[in-house]
């Protein structure tokens, strides 16, 4: 396999990892004011993602850094082109990150409610905007011969992209609700499950609509398979949730996110950012890539250290595998 | 203001702000890990309470470092897309390595440390804070390797077909002479910052006679680390100055406001120049000192700004190759001055606390509290100096800052982001300061109360 292909796959894997992991902590953040009836509930919810959310977010930083190293043109065009949505995402992540840390540092209901609101918006905005961004990447945006994005903010807010935003928001919300039903106990667990069931028809409908449109507009024969499998995993996850099989339900939503993201990357290949101005101006895995030497060096680094990272992150999830319940935290 | 000016202001503000928290994180991670180790070995609960107290302050600071760091990962693409296209082949590599090797390590193991107090065996729990500390230090190394390449590009070639810089030797980049002296310089600067924090916080409590044994100990740790690191910072700074004279002679000349090439060159204590920075009006100088700083020889020749400007025009074509002389000149002096003051305070403090003594004088406590700001100011001045002194280049001798900015981004867009970051950062600075001050005042936790509340089914009372 060519190194440019390896790195295209690796960057796809990093985004998949980011969406699967941060997906559920975004979901929990959005659900915080919805499912958390009192401060104890909300603390349980935040504690459920407490040990891992920061590590989850690093997947984004590494996806950014890896894109810079392996496909500098892609990094430059994407982030200068999607400047304002990215700014919103960054501000949301800043406020959300400090909110987790600051919320418990002062004993006042008003103080905590303020930070809860920050967690809600700080989770909702990126969950929505990442979908908008990826739908635009797959659909193509105006890019000129110099690889410079020539549209504006409103170019990015087209119906297809907004639908993409609803899909990521919906999937992450469902993923988060299922995660909470898996990681908490008692009433909160029951409410999380009920919410997952209530929202699942809408999420399934929006996700199916988006994936079918994507398949028709930008699909390849192979992506019929991943699209179908993604839909199957989502429905399987919902069925598992109905039956109260929480582990399987979470596996279902996780696999859905994996396959849906993989579908988008497969649709994209061999482009990394198609130009809607002219196919000649599209950024591809070839014309956006770093030199073979850099890709070789980075491949060695990734091959050695990715398994190590996966190992200790998995171990963290193992350490904090127990359910969080109401009794001890209320003390 | 055009896109270039606004982008430079934004990069300056977000980076200097980010670097308020970074050195404190690096230094505190190591100090907190050492405190926990001291508890682990001695079983002395004073060290455990110290670990928990300073650990909490460390975490508040760490959160700010993390969230402001996210911006750093993306703004090269947002505001400096032509830079990213030109150097991504080289510059992206240490950034990606930083993410994979350092960020994952620090964030994952810090999560384990925060929530693992009652869950992990003590020895393993101690290992988590050390691994997080290793992560923060590694992160500093990689980002300094990236920055050093901008100061002194090595291990690359310009591809004539694409007109881009390409990596030819990763070891040359990772063992760049500039990196090897900058890394310890920044690292020891971070230790001074964290040590100054320990000294100031301890002084506040000692002045009120609270928790004297604990804070006397913490203060002694801070004082010793501060003084030792102060010496190390001066030593590495000296090496840096010589390297800089060789690699970026214009920066050294600007740092000294040395207009004409001199042998021997005198060190300027105070220089007033014309507003455009082309001529000296009046100065107070110490003979031979600059020659020694720059070359290691009391009579060594140091090139002046005007000669270098002529040399550069001949080499790179017409243009102004002088950085802002007042900015480089003053930030260089402020960096050294603030750093020296911090070391002086450490020396005085060590004397006042010798052989089990506790300083009785109020003035020392007040000075120690005020001196918490010194390392932060020195760090900021140092970075402003090294980045502004490199101008007009973003990659020295290879790429100009003016040619680095994003061509597709317009003035209103950057104005919005500049305003948004500045406002959000300012508000967060106030909130962080209030929370920090509140936790400092609350003092170390009562362990017996904590033990009763501890329950294995909940990870921590963190949130």
Q: Are A226 and A259 in contact (CB under 8 A)?
A: yes
- As a whole number of angstroms, the distance between CA B298 and CA A327 comes to 74
* A245, pLDDT greater than 90: yes
Is pLDDT above 50 for B220? yes
Among chain B residues, CA nearest to A289: B89
Q: Give the pLDDT confidence score for residue B450 in this predicted structure.
A: 59
Q: Which residues of A touch B109 (CB under 8 A)?
A: 312
Please answer yes or no on whether A50 and B101 come within 8 Å at the CB atom: no
- Our CA-based measurement puts residue B283 at a distance from the nearest CA of chain A, in whole angstroms, of 45
Answer whether A121 touches B (CB < 8 Å): no
State the pairing for strand pair B399-400/B393-395. Answer: antiparallel
- Using the Cβ of A291 and the Cβ atoms of chain B, whether some distance falls under 8 Å is answered with yes
**Residue A98 has which token pair?**
């400090």
Tell me which of B262 and B443 has the higher pLDDT.
B443
Record: contact B64-A98, CB cut-off 8 A:
yes
Q: Are B222 and B343 in contact (CB under 8 A)?
A: no
A130 touches chain B (CB under 8 A): no
A98/B contact by beta carbon, under 8 A: yes
For chain B, percent of residues with pLDDT exceeding 90: 76
Mean pLDDT of A76-90: 96
- Contact between chains at A79 and B459 (C-beta distance less than 8 A): no
pLDDT band per the 50, 70, 90 thresholds, residue B357: confident
pLDDT at residue B449 tops 80: no
Which residue from A87, A97, A103 is facing B67, i.e. has the nearest CB? A97
Q: Cα-atom radius of gyration of chain A, to the nearest Å? A: 20
Give me the pLDDT at residue B412, please.
95
Could you say which DSSP state residue B268 is in?
Answer: E
Residue A164, preceding peptide bond in cis (omega within 30° of 0): no
B214 CB-near residues (< 8 Å, 6+ apart)? B46, B49, B50, B444
Contact between B111 and A316 using a beta-carbon 8 Å cutoff: yes
**Which residues does chain A have within 8 Å of residue B457's beta carbon, measured at their own beta carbons?**
322, 324-325, 327-328
pLDDT for the residue B459: 42
Structure tokens, B151 = 């100061």
Kindly write down the DSSP assignment for every residue of A90-151, as one continuous string.
HHHHHHHHHHHHHGGGS--HHHHHHHHHHHHHHHHHHHHHHHHHHHHHHH-B-B-TTS-B--
pLDDT for B454 beyond 80: no
Any idea which of A7-16, B89-98, B182-191, B294-303 has the lowest mean pLDDT? Answer: B294-303
* pLDDT for position A331: 40
**Closest chain A residue by Cα to residue B427:** A95
Under the banding of pLDDT at 50, 70 and 90, the label for residue B264 is: confident
pLDDT at B452 over 70: no
Chain B residue numbers touching A62 (CB-CB < 8 A): 96, 99-100, 103-104
The pLDDT of residue A322? 86
Could you give the CA distance from residue B143 to residue B106 in angstroms, rounded to a whole number?
15
Kindly state the average pLDDT of the residues B405-410.
94
Q: Is the pLDDT of residue A330 over 70?
A: no
A79 contacts B85? CB cut-off 8 A: no
> Is the peptide bond preceding residue B392 cis, with omega within 30 degrees of 0?
yes
Q: In this model, does residue B302 exceed pLDDT 90?
A: no
| Average pLDDT estimate for A84-105 | 94
Confidence of residue B451 (pLDDT cuts 50, 70, 90): low
Give me the mean pLDDT over the A257-274 stretch: 96
| Backbone CA torsion sign across B133, B136, B140, B145 | positive
Residue of A nearest to B87 (CA): A72
pLDDT at B74 (0 to 100)? 95
Check B104 against A290: CB less than 8 A apart. Answer: no
Question: Which 8-state DSSP code applies to residue B183?
Answer: H
Closest-CA residue of A relative to B77 is: A76
- pLDDT tens readout for residues A129-147: 999 999 999 999 999 999 9
User: Which pLDDT value is given to residue B284?
Assistant: 75
Does residue A174 surpass a pLDDT of 70? Answer: yes
What is the model's pLDDT at position B277?
59
| pTM of the entire predicted model | 0.92
When pLDDT is cut at 50, 70 and 90, the band that residue B278 belongs to is low
Other CB atoms within a 10 A radius of the CB of residue B297 amount to 12
* Confidence at residue B59, expressed as pLDDT on a 0 to 100 scale: 94
Q: Which of B74, B88, B116 sits opposite A86 (nearest CB)?
A: B74
Q: Cβ A106–B438 below 8 Å, yes or no?
A: yes
B92 with A75: Cβ contact below 8 A: yes
Q: What pLDDT band is residue B276 in, cutting at 50, 70 and 90?
A: low
In angstroms, the separation between the Cα of residue B404 and the nearest Cα of chain A is 11
Reported confidence tier of residue B281, pLDDT bands at 50, 70, 90 = confident
- What average pLDDT does range A203-213 have in this prediction? 96
Closest by Cβ to B67, choosing from A58, A94, A301: A94
CB contacts of A111 in chain B (<8 Å) are none
Residue A145 in contact with partner chain B when CB distance is under 8 A: no
For CA atoms B192, B462, B100, B12, give the dihedral sign: negative
Q: H helices of B208-288, where? A: 212-247, 249-255
Instruction: Count contacts between A and B (CB, < 8 Å).
Output: 245
The least confident of B87-101, B161-175, B286-300 is B286-300
**Res. B283: pLDDT tops 70:** yes
Say yes or no for a CB contact (<8 Å) between B409 and A83: yes
As a whole number, the mean pLDDT across chain B is 90
Is residue A328 very low, low, confident or very high in pLDDT (cuts 50, 70, 90)? Answer: low
pLDDT at B385: 96
Mean pLDDT of B91-118: 93
Indicate yes or no: CB of B78 within 8 angstroms of CB of A78.
Answer: no
- Does A191 touch chain B if contact means CB atoms closer than 8 Å? no
């Amino acid at each position: 396999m060519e190194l440019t292909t390896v790195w295209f796959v690796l960057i796809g894997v990093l985004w998949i990892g980011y969406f699967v992991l941060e997906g559920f902590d975004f979901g929990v953040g959005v659900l915080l004011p919805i499912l958390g009836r009192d401060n104890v509930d909300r603390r349980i919810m935040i504690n459920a993602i407490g040990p891992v959310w920061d590590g989850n977010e690093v997947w984004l930083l590494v996806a950014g850094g890896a894109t810079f190293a392996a496909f500098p043109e892609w990094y430059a065009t994407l982030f200068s082109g999607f400047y304002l949505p990215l700014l919103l995402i960054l501000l949301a992540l800043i406020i959300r990150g400090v909110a987790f840390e600051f919320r418990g540092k002062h004993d006042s209901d008003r103080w905590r409610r303020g930070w809860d609101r920050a967690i809600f918006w700080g989770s909702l905005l990126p969950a929505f905007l990442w979908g908008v961004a990826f739908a635009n990447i797959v659909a193509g945006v105006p890019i000129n011969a110099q690889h410079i994005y020539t549209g504006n903010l409103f170019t990015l807010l087209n119906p297809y992209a907004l639908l993409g935003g609803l899909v990521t928001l919906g999937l992450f919300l469902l993923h988060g609700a299922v995660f909470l039903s898996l990681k908490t106990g008692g009433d909160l667990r029951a409410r999380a499950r009920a919410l997952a069931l209530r929202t699942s028809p809408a999420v399934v409908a929006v996700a199916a609509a988006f994936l079918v449109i994507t398949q028709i507009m930008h699909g390849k024969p192979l992506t019929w398979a991943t699209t179908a499998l993604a839909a199957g995993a989502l429905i399987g996850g919902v069925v598992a949730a109905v039956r109260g099989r929480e582990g399987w339900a979470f596996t279902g939503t996780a696999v859905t996110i994996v396959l849906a993201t993989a579908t988008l990357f497969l649709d994209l290949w061999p482009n990394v950012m198609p130009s809607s101005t002219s196919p000649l101006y599209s950024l591809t895995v070839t014309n956006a890539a770093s030199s073979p030497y850099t890709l070789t060096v980075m491949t060695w680094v990734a091959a050695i250290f990715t398994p190590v990272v996966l190992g200790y992150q998995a171990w963290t999830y193992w350490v904090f595998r127990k359910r969080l319940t109401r009794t001890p935290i209320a003390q | 203001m055009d896109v270039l000016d606004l982008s430079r202001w934004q990069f300056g503000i977000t980076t200097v702000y980010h670097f308020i928290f970074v050195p404190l994180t690096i230094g505190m991670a190591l100090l907190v890990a050492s405190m926990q180790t001291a508890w682990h070995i001695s079983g002395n609960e004073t060290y455990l309470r110290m670990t928990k107290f300073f650990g909490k302050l460390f975490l508040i600071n760490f959160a700010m470092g993390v969230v402001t760091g996210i911006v750093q990962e993306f703004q090269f693409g947002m505001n400096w897309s032509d830079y990213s296209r030109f150097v991504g082949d080289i510059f992206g590599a240490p950034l990606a390595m930083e993410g994979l090797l350092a960020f994952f390590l620090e964030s994952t193991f810090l999560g384990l440390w925060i929530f693992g107090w009652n869950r992990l065996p003590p020895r393993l729990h101690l290992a988590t804070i050390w691994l997080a500390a290793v992560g923060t230090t590694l992160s500093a190394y990689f980002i300094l390797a990236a920055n050093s390449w901008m100061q002194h590009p090595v291990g690359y070639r310009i591809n004539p077909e694409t007109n881009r810089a390409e990596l030819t030797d990763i070891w040359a980049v990772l063992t760049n002479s500039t990196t090897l002296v900058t890394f310890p310089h920044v690292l020891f600067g971070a230790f001074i910052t964290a040590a100054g924090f320990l000294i100031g916080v301890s002084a506040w409590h000692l002045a009120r006679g609270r928790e004297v044994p604990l804070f006397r100990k913490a203060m002694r740790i801070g004082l010793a680390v501060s003084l030792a690191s102060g010496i190390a910072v001066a030593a590495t700074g000296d090496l840096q100055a010589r390297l800089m004279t060789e690699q970026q002679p214009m920066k050294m000349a600007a740092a000294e406001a040395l207009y004409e090439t001199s042998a021997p060159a005198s060190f300027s204590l105070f220089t007033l120049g014309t507003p455009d920075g082309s001529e000296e009006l009046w100065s107070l100088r110490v003979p031979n000192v600059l020659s020694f700083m720059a070359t290691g020889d009391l009579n060594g020749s140091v090139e002046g700004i005007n000669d270098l400007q002529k040399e550069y025009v001949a080499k790179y074509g017409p243009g102004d190759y002088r950085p802002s002389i007042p900015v480089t000149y003053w930030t260089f002096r402020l960096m050294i001055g603030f750093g020296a003051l911090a070391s002086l305070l450490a020396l005085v403090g060590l004397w006042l606390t010798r052989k089990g003594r506790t300083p009785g004088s109020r003035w020392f406590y007040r000075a120690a509290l005020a001196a918490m700001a010194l390392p932060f100011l020195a760090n900021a001045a140092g970075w402003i100096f090294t980045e502004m002194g490199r101008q007009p280049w973003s990659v020295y001798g290879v790429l100009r800052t003016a040619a680095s900015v994003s061509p597709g981004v317009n003035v209103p867009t950057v104005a919005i982001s500049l305003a948004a970051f500045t406002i959000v950062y300012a508000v967060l600075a106030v909130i962080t300061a209030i929370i920090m001050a509140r936790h400092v005042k609350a003092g170390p936790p009562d362990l017996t109360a904590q033990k009763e509340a501890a329950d294995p089914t909940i990870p921590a009372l963190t949130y």
